[in-house]
Amino acid sequence: MSKISILGANSYIARNYIYYLNKEHKDSEIKLYGHSDKQIDAYKNYIKIDFSNINELNKIDWNTDYIYIFIGKTGTLNGFIEYENFLDINEKYLLHILNKYMEKKSKAKIIFLSTRLVYKESKKPLTEDMPKDFKTMYAINKFACENYLKMYNNLYNIPYVILRLCVPYGSYKSGKLSYGLMGFFINKAKSKQDITIFGDGNQKRTLTSMDYLVKVLWEVANNKKIINDVFNIGGETFSLKEVAEKVAKKYAVNLNFIDWPQEALAIETGDTVFNSNKLDKLLGLNYCYRIEDYLKTLD
């Protein structure tokens, strides 16, 4: 039986993963933590925590096998205005967690989700060691956290796995739509509004089905060979235009192209296509999910 602590239990990915664990790994002992008063899906094994107060972290069960960190504040332009919140939530909270981990003498393996936004634009598929670039607070926050984990491992031997994710979509939990890019397209189209794209929409992304992502989250924790390293998560690659066209066709709406706003263009990352061979070889999982199949499940 695995003992699992999930920090940030109300996030999009965390909610899907909790549902997956309760369905596929019922013998796991799962404890949930977050800053809200309640867990959105009404799971009872939930404790409210103020992660800004390191003493509040005493509420966490540190005698566990795996700790998943889903805490984070996302955003692009708002990071330049809310920089204090971005620094606190995305970096300071992790440092609180790592120092409390040491104090409690935990042995848990930490699984941390990072982002495509740490990479410099490349026309080649991105491997984990390729050049980095940071155009938003969120991007540099995530890269800082990656390096905090490496530093604490080097000095205190805290085990970790960093997973870089490009664009997730879908839901393992039936009846729930996507968030982020796919959610934006679908919500617009379902309400019979045309989909609008900046520029020509030819920039490429690797899109990962939530059905696959939840399996990866489980497997990386339980695979002893996956430790103290960073990995890209695989999926299908499309241009934004191609994805929008698929959604627009399903809901019979139009796809419109407009000029880039100056600020949005300044932080656009261009192509972000993942090479996930490093993780794929260790997991032995075949990516067999198609966006077309997902769209067929929607009303």
pLDDT band at 299 (very low <50, low <70, confident <90, very high): confident
Q: CB of 139 within 8 A of CB of 118?
A: yes
Helix (DSSP H) and strand (DSSP E) numbers for the chain: 10, 12
pLDDT band at 176 (very low <50, low <70, confident <90, very high): low
User: What confidence score (pLDDT) does residue 286 get?
Assistant: 87
Please name which of 174, 157, 163 lies closest in space to residue 211, comparing C-alpha atoms. Answer: 174
User: What confidence score (pLDDT) does residue 172 get?
Assistant: 84
Greater model confidence, 176 or 87: 87
pLDDT band at 1 (very low <50, low <70, confident <90, very high): confident
Res 50 pLDDT > 80: yes
Count the Cβ atoms, other than its own, within 10 Å of residue 126: 23
Mean pLDDT on 3-16: 96
pLDDT band at 175 (very low <50, low <70, confident <90, very high): low
pLDDT-above-70 percentage for the chain? 99
137-156 vs 93-103: helix axis angle to the nearest 10? 20
Which has the minimum average pLDDT: 93-97, 129-133, 178-182?
Answer: 178-182
Q: What is the pLDDT of residues 119-159, one digit of tens each?
A: 999 999 999 999 999 999 999 999 999 999 999 999 999 99
Greater model confidence, 186 or 175: 186
User: What confidence score (pLDDT) does residue 231 get?
Assistant: 98
pTM for the full predicted model: 0.96
Instruction: Give me the CATH code for the 168-206+236-273+288-296 domain, please.
Output: 3.90.25.10
Place of tokens 């794929």: 280
222-225 contacts, C-beta under 8 A, 24 or more apart: 222/2, 223/282, 223/283, 225/282
pLDDT-above-90 percentage for the chain? 94
Count the Cβ atoms, other than its own, within 10 Å of residue 64: 19
Token reading at 274: 């993942």
User: What confidence score (pLDDT) does residue 262 get?
Assistant: 96
Mean pLDDT on 248-275: 96
- Domain spanning 3-166+208-232: CATH 3.30.930.10: no
| Residue 211 C-alpha from the chain's centroid | 13
Mean pLDDT on 74-86: 95
Q: Where in the chain is the domain with CATH 3.40.50.720?
A: 3-166+208-232
- Phi and psi at residue 267, in whole multiples of 5°? -110, 5
Beta strands in the chain (DSSP E): 3-7, 29-34, 46-48, 66-69, 109-115, 160-165, 167-169, 195-198, 204-209, 229-232, 236-239, 255-258
Res 174 pLDDT > 70: no
Q: CB of 123 within 8 A of CB of 131?
A: no
Sign, CA dihedral 68-164-96-41, equals negative
Q: Where in the chain is the domain with CATH 3.90.25.10?
A: 168-206+236-273+288-296
Res 223 pLDDT > 70: yes
Please list the active-site residues: 138
Res 173 pLDDT > 90: no
Res 95 pLDDT > 80: yes
Token reading at 5: 């602590």
Res 180 pLDDT > 90: no
Q: CB of 88 within 8 A of CB of 52?
A: yes
Q: CB of 297 within 8 A of CB of 237?
A: no
Please name which of 164, 211, 183, 159 lies closest in space to residue 17, comparing C-alpha atoms. Answer: 211
Sign, CA dihedral 135-137-140-142, equals negative
Greatest extent of the chain over all pairs of C-alpha atoms, in Å = 57
User: What confidence score (pLDDT) does residue 179 get?
Assistant: 82
* Mean of all residue pLDDT scores within the chain: 95
Interatomic CA distance for residues 265 and 151, integer angstroms:
34
